[in-house]
A and B are shown apart, each in its own frame.
Chain A
Amino acid sequence: MLRSAIEAGADSVYCGLRDETNARNFPGLNFSQAELGESVVFAHGRGAKVLVAINTFARAGATDAWRRAVDVAAAAGADAIIAADLGVLSYARDQFPDLRLHLSVQAAANSADAIAFYARAYGVKRVVLPRVLSAQEIAALIGDVDVEIEAFVFGGLCVMAEGRCALSSYATGRSPNLSGVCSPPEAVNFDRSGGALTPRLAGLAIDRFNPGEIAGYPTLCKGRFTTPESTGYLFEEPVSLNAMGLLKSLRTAGVRAVKVEGRQRGKAYVARVAAAFRGAIDALDRGEDTERFEKLLTDLAEGGRETAGAYRKTWR
Protein backbone atom coordinates (compact mmCIF):
# COMPACT_ATOMS: atom_id res chain seq x y z
CA MET A 1 0.00 0.00 0.00
CA LEU A 2 2.86 2.38 0.83
CA ARG A 3 4.37 1.55 -2.54
CA SER A 4 1.04 2.22 -4.29
CA ALA A 5 0.79 5.63 -2.64
CA ILE A 6 4.32 6.64 -3.63
CA GLU A 7 3.95 5.33 -7.17
CA ALA A 8 0.69 7.30 -7.48
CA GLY A 9 2.52 10.52 -6.55
CA ALA A 10 2.36 10.92 -2.76
CA ASP A 11 5.19 13.07 -1.32
CA SER A 12 4.91 11.40 2.09
CA VAL A 13 3.26 8.30 3.47
CA TYR A 14 2.22 7.81 7.07
CA CYS A 15 2.05 4.35 8.53
CA GLY A 16 2.09 2.49 11.82
CA LEU A 17 3.59 -0.50 13.56
CA ARG A 18 1.59 -3.68 14.02
CA ASP A 19 0.30 -3.00 17.53
CA GLU A 20 -1.81 -0.71 19.69
CA THR A 21 0.61 2.24 19.34
CA ASN A 22 -1.27 3.60 16.33
CA ALA A 23 -4.89 4.40 15.62
CA ARG A 24 -5.41 1.74 12.92
CA ASN A 25 -4.72 -1.37 14.95
CA PHE A 26 -6.37 -3.95 12.69
CA PRO A 27 -5.39 -7.60 12.18
CA GLY A 28 -2.93 -8.03 9.31
CA LEU A 29 -2.44 -4.29 8.78
CA ASN A 30 0.66 -2.15 9.47
CA PHE A 31 4.39 -2.89 9.54
CA SER A 32 6.80 -5.09 11.41
CA GLN A 33 10.16 -3.56 12.34
CA ALA A 34 11.83 -5.14 9.29
CA GLU A 35 9.05 -4.09 6.92
CA LEU A 36 9.25 -0.50 8.18
CA GLY A 37 12.99 -0.42 7.47
CA GLU A 38 12.48 -1.76 3.94
CA SER A 39 9.67 0.73 3.33
CA VAL A 40 11.82 3.67 4.38
CA VAL A 41 14.54 2.54 1.95
CA PHE A 42 11.95 2.17 -0.84
CA ALA A 43 10.45 5.61 -0.14
CA HIS A 44 13.76 7.44 0.15
CA GLY A 45 14.91 5.84 -3.10
CA ARG A 46 11.99 7.61 -4.77
CA GLY A 47 12.32 10.93 -2.99
CA ALA A 48 9.34 10.28 -0.70
CA LYS A 49 9.12 10.52 3.08
CA VAL A 50 7.83 8.06 5.67
CA LEU A 51 6.05 9.39 8.74
CA VAL A 52 5.35 6.89 11.50
CA ALA A 53 2.12 7.33 13.45
CA ILE A 54 2.57 6.52 17.16
CA ASN A 55 -0.58 8.40 17.92
CA THR A 56 -2.55 6.49 20.52
CA PHE A 57 -2.24 7.36 24.20
CA ALA A 58 0.27 5.32 26.15
CA ARG A 59 -1.41 3.22 28.81
CA ALA A 60 -0.24 3.67 32.41
CA GLY A 61 1.82 0.68 33.48
CA ALA A 62 2.39 -0.48 29.90
CA THR A 63 4.29 2.37 28.28
CA ASP A 64 7.11 0.14 26.98
CA ALA A 65 5.24 -0.57 23.73
CA TRP A 66 5.12 3.15 22.92
CA ARG A 67 8.79 3.72 23.80
CA ARG A 68 9.75 0.73 21.70
CA ALA A 69 7.71 2.10 18.77
CA VAL A 70 9.64 5.38 18.93
CA ASP A 71 12.94 3.45 19.07
CA VAL A 72 11.92 1.35 16.04
CA ALA A 73 10.82 4.38 14.00
CA ALA A 74 14.07 6.20 14.75
CA ALA A 75 16.18 3.13 13.93
CA ALA A 76 14.32 2.64 10.64
CA GLY A 77 15.25 6.16 9.55
CA ALA A 78 11.69 7.53 9.57
CA ASP A 79 11.45 11.17 8.50
CA ALA A 80 9.18 12.02 11.43
CA ILE A 81 6.90 10.50 14.00
CA ILE A 82 3.32 11.61 14.48
CA ALA A 83 2.36 11.55 18.14
CA ALA A 84 -0.28 12.94 20.48
CA ASP A 85 0.62 11.61 23.92
CA LEU A 86 2.76 13.94 26.08
CA GLY A 87 4.81 11.01 27.35
CA VAL A 88 5.55 9.76 23.81
CA LEU A 89 6.45 13.28 22.67
CA SER A 90 8.79 13.89 25.61
CA TYR A 91 10.45 10.47 25.24
CA ALA A 92 11.11 11.10 21.54
CA ARG A 93 12.39 14.62 22.25
CA ASP A 94 14.81 13.40 24.93
CA GLN A 95 16.03 10.20 23.26
CA PHE A 96 16.16 11.33 19.63
CA PRO A 97 16.63 15.11 19.48
CA ASP A 98 17.14 14.96 15.70
CA LEU A 99 13.90 13.05 15.05
CA ARG A 100 11.27 15.38 13.62
CA LEU A 101 8.02 15.47 15.60
CA HIS A 102 4.57 16.05 14.14
CA LEU A 103 1.59 16.57 16.41
CA SER A 104 -1.17 14.09 15.57
CA VAL A 105 -4.74 15.13 14.93
CA GLN A 106 -5.45 13.00 18.00
CA ALA A 107 -3.99 15.74 20.20
CA ALA A 108 -6.83 18.00 19.04
CA ALA A 109 -4.67 21.13 19.18
CA ASN A 110 -6.96 23.71 17.63
CA SER A 111 -5.80 27.02 19.10
CA ALA A 112 -2.64 29.08 18.65
CA ASP A 113 -1.92 28.74 22.38
CA ALA A 114 -2.13 24.94 22.32
CA ILE A 115 0.05 24.74 19.21
CA ALA A 116 2.63 27.12 20.69
CA PHE A 117 2.80 24.95 23.81
CA TYR A 118 3.58 21.79 21.81
CA ALA A 119 6.18 23.66 19.75
CA ARG A 120 7.87 25.16 22.81
CA ALA A 121 7.73 22.10 25.08
CA TYR A 122 8.47 19.32 22.58
CA GLY A 123 9.94 21.03 19.53
CA VAL A 124 6.99 19.95 17.37
CA LYS A 125 7.60 21.07 13.79
CA ARG A 126 4.21 20.39 12.28
CA VAL A 127 0.66 20.19 13.62
CA VAL A 128 -2.13 18.17 12.02
CA LEU A 129 -5.30 20.15 12.60
CA PRO A 130 -8.45 18.52 13.97
CA ARG A 131 -11.21 18.25 11.41
CA VAL A 132 -13.41 20.80 13.15
CA LEU A 133 -12.07 24.09 11.79
CA SER A 134 -13.41 26.06 8.84
CA ALA A 135 -11.07 27.26 6.08
CA GLN A 136 -11.29 30.84 7.45
CA GLU A 137 -10.44 29.67 10.96
CA ILE A 138 -7.41 27.79 9.61
CA ALA A 139 -6.18 30.90 7.78
CA ALA A 140 -6.50 32.97 10.96
CA LEU A 141 -4.74 30.29 13.00
CA ILE A 142 -1.78 30.01 10.62
CA GLY A 143 -1.15 33.72 10.98
CA ASP A 144 -0.71 33.19 14.73
CA VAL A 145 1.65 30.18 14.81
CA ASP A 146 5.13 29.50 13.50
CA VAL A 147 4.98 25.75 12.88
CA GLU A 148 3.89 23.96 9.71
CA ILE A 149 0.20 23.18 9.45
CA GLU A 150 -1.22 20.01 7.91
CA ALA A 151 -4.90 19.47 7.16
CA PHE A 152 -7.01 16.46 6.24
CA VAL A 153 -8.57 16.69 2.78
CA PHE A 154 -10.05 13.25 2.17
CA GLY A 155 -11.47 10.20 3.91
CA GLY A 156 -13.29 9.33 7.10
CA LEU A 157 -14.39 11.91 9.62
CA CYS A 158 -14.30 11.73 13.38
CA VAL A 159 -16.85 13.48 15.52
CA MET A 160 -15.74 16.59 17.33
CA ALA A 161 -13.05 16.39 20.02
CA GLU A 162 -10.64 14.05 18.36
CA GLY A 163 -8.39 12.14 20.66
CA ARG A 164 -11.02 12.05 23.35
CA CYS A 165 -13.47 9.53 21.98
CA ALA A 166 -14.45 6.84 24.45
CA LEU A 167 -17.81 6.09 22.82
CA SER A 168 -16.92 2.59 21.65
CA SER A 169 -15.44 1.66 25.02
CA TYR A 170 -18.97 1.61 26.44
CA ALA A 171 -19.77 -1.23 24.05
CA THR A 172 -16.48 -3.12 23.75
CA GLY A 173 -14.20 -2.00 26.57
CA ARG A 174 -11.76 -0.70 23.95
CA SER A 175 -11.47 2.75 22.41
CA PRO A 176 -9.63 4.34 19.46
CA ASN A 177 -7.28 6.44 21.56
CA LEU A 178 -6.20 3.66 23.89
CA SER A 179 -6.41 0.49 21.81
CA GLY A 180 -6.18 1.94 18.30
CA VAL A 181 -9.59 0.72 17.15
CA CYS A 182 -13.08 2.12 17.61
CA SER A 183 -14.88 -1.02 16.44
CA PRO A 184 -12.54 -3.96 17.02
CA PRO A 185 -13.41 -6.40 14.21
CA GLU A 186 -13.83 -9.29 16.61
CA ALA A 187 -16.67 -7.36 18.32
CA VAL A 188 -18.48 -6.67 15.03
CA ASN A 189 -20.99 -8.91 13.33
CA PHE A 190 -23.43 -8.42 10.50
CA ASP A 191 -26.92 -9.78 10.96
CA ARG A 192 -28.79 -10.33 7.70
CA SER A 193 -31.97 -11.87 9.06
CA GLY A 194 -35.26 -10.44 7.83
CA GLY A 195 -33.81 -9.08 4.58
CA ALA A 196 -32.09 -6.06 6.20
CA LEU A 197 -28.41 -5.70 7.09
CA THR A 198 -27.94 -4.98 10.80
CA PRO A 199 -24.37 -4.25 11.88
CA ARG A 200 -23.86 -5.01 15.57
CA LEU A 201 -21.05 -3.94 17.88
CA ALA A 202 -20.76 -6.23 20.92
CA GLY A 203 -24.37 -7.23 20.27
CA LEU A 204 -25.72 -3.66 20.07
CA ALA A 205 -27.49 -2.79 16.82
CA ILE A 206 -25.84 0.27 15.25
CA ASP A 207 -27.98 0.67 12.16
CA ARG A 208 -30.31 -1.17 9.84
CA PHE A 209 -29.84 -0.98 6.08
CA ASN A 210 -32.51 -2.03 3.64
CA PRO A 211 -31.47 -4.13 0.63
CA GLY A 212 -29.52 -1.94 -1.78
CA GLU A 213 -29.13 0.92 0.71
CA ILE A 214 -25.55 2.24 0.86
CA ALA A 215 -23.84 1.19 4.09
CA GLY A 216 -21.20 2.80 6.31
CA TYR A 217 -18.62 1.57 8.81
CA PRO A 218 -19.98 -0.25 11.87
CA THR A 219 -19.01 2.49 14.34
CA LEU A 220 -21.25 3.88 17.07
CA CYS A 221 -20.69 7.50 16.05
CA LYS A 222 -22.14 6.78 12.58
CA GLY A 223 -25.13 4.84 13.90
CA ARG A 224 -28.81 5.66 13.62
CA PHE A 225 -30.59 5.98 16.93
CA THR A 226 -34.10 6.72 18.16
CA THR A 227 -34.51 9.47 20.73
CA PRO A 228 -37.72 11.01 22.10
CA GLU A 229 -37.29 13.77 19.50
CA SER A 230 -36.36 11.89 16.34
CA THR A 231 -34.77 8.89 14.69
CA GLY A 232 -31.60 9.44 12.71
CA TYR A 233 -27.87 9.96 12.82
CA LEU A 234 -27.31 11.39 16.26
CA PHE A 235 -23.57 12.12 16.16
CA GLU A 236 -22.34 12.05 12.58
CA GLU A 237 -23.63 10.83 9.25
CA PRO A 238 -21.79 8.10 7.34
CA VAL A 239 -20.14 10.39 4.81
CA SER A 240 -16.56 10.95 3.69
CA LEU A 241 -14.59 14.17 3.62
CA ASN A 242 -13.59 15.44 0.20
CA ALA A 243 -12.01 18.90 0.35
CA MET A 244 -10.59 18.79 -3.17
CA GLY A 245 -12.59 21.92 -3.98
CA LEU A 246 -10.95 23.73 -1.06
CA LEU A 247 -7.33 22.91 -1.96
CA LYS A 248 -6.77 26.35 -3.38
CA SER A 249 -8.06 28.19 -0.33
CA LEU A 250 -6.14 25.87 2.00
CA ARG A 251 -2.98 26.62 0.04
CA THR A 252 -3.67 30.35 0.14
CA ALA A 253 -4.24 30.03 3.89
CA GLY A 254 -0.69 28.65 4.20
CA VAL A 255 -1.39 24.95 4.79
CA ARG A 256 1.89 23.12 4.15
CA ALA A 257 0.68 19.55 3.69
CA VAL A 258 -2.61 17.84 3.01
CA LYS A 259 -3.47 14.43 4.35
CA VAL A 260 -5.66 11.53 3.28
CA GLU A 261 -7.36 9.29 5.83
CA GLY A 262 -7.74 5.59 5.11
CA ARG A 263 -4.60 3.57 5.65
CA GLN A 264 -6.89 0.70 6.69
CA ARG A 265 -8.30 0.65 3.14
CA GLY A 266 -6.27 -0.89 0.33
CA LYS A 267 -4.09 -0.35 -2.70
CA ALA A 268 -6.94 0.60 -5.02
CA TYR A 269 -8.16 3.35 -2.68
CA VAL A 270 -4.70 4.65 -1.85
CA ALA A 271 -3.56 4.76 -5.47
CA ARG A 272 -6.69 6.47 -6.77
CA VAL A 273 -6.88 9.09 -4.02
CA ALA A 274 -3.16 9.86 -4.16
CA ALA A 275 -3.21 10.16 -7.96
CA ALA A 276 -6.26 12.46 -7.94
CA PHE A 277 -4.77 14.80 -5.32
CA ARG A 278 -1.34 14.73 -7.02
CA GLY A 279 -3.09 15.79 -10.24
CA ALA A 280 -5.09 18.51 -8.50
CA ILE A 281 -2.09 19.95 -6.65
CA ASP A 282 0.00 19.95 -9.83
CA ALA A 283 -2.88 21.68 -11.64
CA LEU A 284 -2.90 24.38 -8.94
CA ASP A 285 0.88 24.79 -9.43
CA ARG A 286 0.23 25.49 -13.10
CA GLY A 287 -2.46 28.02 -12.23
CA GLU A 288 -5.28 25.74 -13.42
CA ASP A 289 -8.40 24.86 -11.46
CA THR A 290 -9.07 21.47 -9.85
CA GLU A 291 -12.61 20.96 -11.06
CA ARG A 292 -11.90 17.99 -13.30
CA PHE A 293 -10.42 16.06 -10.35
CA GLU A 294 -13.29 16.70 -7.96
CA LYS A 295 -15.68 13.93 -8.99
CA LEU A 296 -13.12 11.17 -9.53
CA LEU A 297 -13.39 9.69 -6.05
CA THR A 298 -17.09 9.75 -5.10
CA ASP A 299 -17.51 5.97 -5.35
CA LEU A 300 -14.88 5.48 -2.62
CA ALA A 301 -16.82 7.46 -0.02
CA GLU A 302 -18.28 5.88 3.10
CA GLY A 303 -22.05 5.80 2.74
CA GLY A 304 -21.48 6.76 -0.91
CA ARG A 305 -21.63 10.46 0.03
CA GLU A 306 -19.07 13.22 0.32
CA THR A 307 -18.91 16.37 2.40
CA ALA A 308 -16.64 19.38 2.68
CA GLY A 309 -16.81 18.66 6.44
CA ALA A 310 -16.24 21.43 8.93
CA TYR A 311 -14.47 23.49 6.26
CA ARG A 312 -17.97 24.56 5.23
CA LYS A 313 -20.05 23.23 8.10
CA THR A 314 -23.07 24.85 9.62
CA TRP A 315 -24.41 23.85 13.03
CA ARG A 316 -27.74 22.24 13.62
Chain B
Amino acid sequence: MEDLLALFDGSLDADSAFFGRTVQVDGDTGAVVALHNALEAANLSMTDLLGLPLIDQGFRMLQGVIRRSRQAEMAR
Protein backbone atom coordinates (compact mmCIF):
# COMPACT_ATOMS: atom_id res chain seq x y z
CA MET B 1 0.00 0.00 0.00
CA GLU B 2 2.84 2.36 0.90
CA ASP B 3 4.51 1.54 -2.45
CA LEU B 4 1.26 2.07 -4.37
CA LEU B 5 0.69 5.51 -2.84
CA ALA B 6 4.35 6.41 -3.44
CA LEU B 7 3.96 5.41 -7.10
CA PHE B 8 0.85 7.57 -7.40
CA ASP B 9 2.45 10.68 -5.92
CA GLY B 10 5.68 10.10 -7.85
CA SER B 11 7.99 9.64 -4.87
CA LEU B 12 8.81 6.04 -5.86
CA ASP B 13 10.45 5.46 -9.26
CA ALA B 14 8.18 3.08 -11.18
CA ASP B 15 10.89 1.58 -13.40
CA SER B 16 13.06 0.72 -10.39
CA ALA B 17 10.03 -0.86 -8.75
CA PHE B 18 9.53 -2.90 -11.93
CA PHE B 19 13.20 -4.02 -12.06
CA GLY B 20 12.95 -5.01 -8.38
CA ARG B 21 9.70 -6.92 -9.11
CA THR B 22 7.63 -4.80 -6.69
CA VAL B 23 5.46 -3.79 -9.64
CA GLN B 24 3.98 -6.40 -11.97
CA VAL B 25 2.67 -5.53 -15.39
CA ASP B 26 -0.22 -7.40 -16.98
CA GLY B 27 -2.41 -6.75 -19.98
CA ASP B 28 -1.99 -3.70 -22.22
CA THR B 29 1.56 -2.40 -21.68
CA GLY B 30 0.81 0.75 -23.70
CA ALA B 31 -1.99 1.64 -21.28
CA VAL B 32 0.30 1.02 -18.30
CA VAL B 33 2.99 3.32 -19.73
CA ALA B 34 0.38 5.98 -20.51
CA LEU B 35 -1.03 5.73 -16.97
CA HIS B 36 2.46 6.02 -15.48
CA ASN B 37 3.23 9.14 -17.53
CA ALA B 38 -0.18 10.65 -16.76
CA LEU B 39 0.39 10.14 -13.02
CA GLU B 40 3.87 11.65 -13.27
CA ALA B 41 2.53 14.69 -15.13
CA ALA B 42 -0.43 15.16 -12.78
CA ASN B 43 1.74 15.95 -9.74
CA LEU B 44 -0.72 14.30 -7.38
CA SER B 45 -0.32 14.75 -3.66
CA MET B 46 -1.77 12.60 -0.91
CA THR B 47 -4.48 15.25 -0.52
CA ASP B 48 -5.61 14.60 -4.08
CA LEU B 49 -5.49 10.85 -3.61
CA LEU B 50 -7.21 10.64 -0.25
CA GLY B 51 -8.94 13.99 0.04
CA LEU B 52 -7.67 14.64 3.54
CA PRO B 53 -4.99 17.26 4.22
CA LEU B 54 -4.10 15.78 7.60
CA ILE B 55 -3.37 12.39 6.09
CA ASP B 56 -1.21 14.16 3.55
CA GLN B 57 0.89 15.80 6.23
CA GLY B 58 1.14 12.58 8.20
CA PHE B 59 2.12 10.64 5.10
CA ARG B 60 4.79 13.16 4.12
CA MET B 61 6.29 12.94 7.59
CA LEU B 62 6.24 9.15 7.36
CA GLN B 63 7.83 9.26 3.92
CA GLY B 64 10.52 11.60 5.24
CA VAL B 65 11.32 9.21 8.06
CA ILE B 66 11.47 6.23 5.68
CA ARG B 67 13.64 8.13 3.20
CA ARG B 68 16.07 9.25 5.86
CA SER B 69 16.36 5.77 7.30
CA ARG B 70 16.99 4.36 3.81
CA GLN B 71 19.63 7.01 3.13
CA ALA B 72 21.24 6.27 6.47
CA GLU B 73 21.25 2.58 5.55
CA MET B 74 22.86 3.29 2.19
CA ALA B 75 25.43 5.63 3.66
CA ARG B 76 26.57 2.87 6.01
* Chain A positions near chain B (C-beta within 8 angstroms): 1, 26-29, 184-186, 188-190, 192, 197, 209, 211-217, 264-269, 272, 292, 295-296, 298-304
A266 adjacent to B28 (CB under 8 Å): no
Q: Are A186 and B29 in contact (CB under 8 A)?
A: yes
Q: Does B62 contact A (CB under 8 A)?
A: no
Could you give 16 example pairs across A and B, Cβ below 8 Å? A1-B40, A27-B30, A27-B33, A27-B37, A28-B34, A28-B36, A185-B30, A190-B24, A209-B21, A212-B21, A264-B15, A265-B13, A269-B13, A269-B16, A300-B16, A304-B20
Q: How far, in whole Å, are A189 and B13 apart by their CA atoms in the complex?
A: 20
Complex partner residue of A26 from B10, B37, B74, CB under 8 angstroms: B37
Docked-complex contact A214 and B20, CB < 8 angstroms: yes
A266 touches B14 (CB 8 A): yes
Alpha-carbon distance A185/B29, docked complex (angstroms): 5
Cα separation A189 to B28 with both chains bound (whole Å): 7
* Inter-chain contact A299/B30, CB cutoff 8 Å: no
Contact of B19 among A184, A268, A303 (CB under 8 A): A303
Q: Which residues of B contact A28 (CB under 8 A)?
A: 33-38, 41
B30:A214 contact, CB within 8 angstroms: no
The 3 closest A-B pairs by CB, nearest first: A28-B37, A186-B30, A27-B34
Partner of A266, one of B35, B36, B75: B36
Q: State A296–B26 Cα separation when bound (angstroms).
A: 31
A189 and B29 contact, CB distance less than 8 A: yes
Does residue B4 face the partner (Cβ distance < 8 Å to A)?
Answer: no
Complex CA–CA separation, A26 to B32 (angstroms): 11
- In the complex, given contacts A265-B13, A267-B11, what are 7 additional A-B residue pairs having Cβ atoms less than 8 angstroms apart? A212-B21, A214-B20, A214-B21, A216-B19, A264-B15, A268-B13, A269-B16
Which residues of A are found within 8 Å of B41, using beta-carbon distances? Answer: 1, 28
* Chain B min CB distance to A131 (Å): 19
Residues A186 and B28 in contact in the complex (CB < 8 Å), given A27-B34, A295-B74: yes
The reply to whether A215 and B10 contact each other, CB–CB distance below 8 Å, is no
B50: Cβ under 8 A from any A Cβ: no
Q: Inside 8 A of A299's CB, which chain B residues have their CB? A: 16, 20
Q: Say whether B1 faces chain A, with CB atoms less than 8 Å apart.
A: no
Contact status B13-A188, CB under 8 Å: no
Residue of A nearest to B43 (CB): A267
- Which residue of A27, A192, A265 contacts B15 across the interface (Cβ within 8 Å)? A265
Contact at B14–A190, with CB atoms within 8 Å?
Answer: no
B73 to chain A minimum Cβ distance, whole angstroms, is: 11
What is the CA–CA distance of A267 and B28 in the complex, to the nearest angstrom?
23
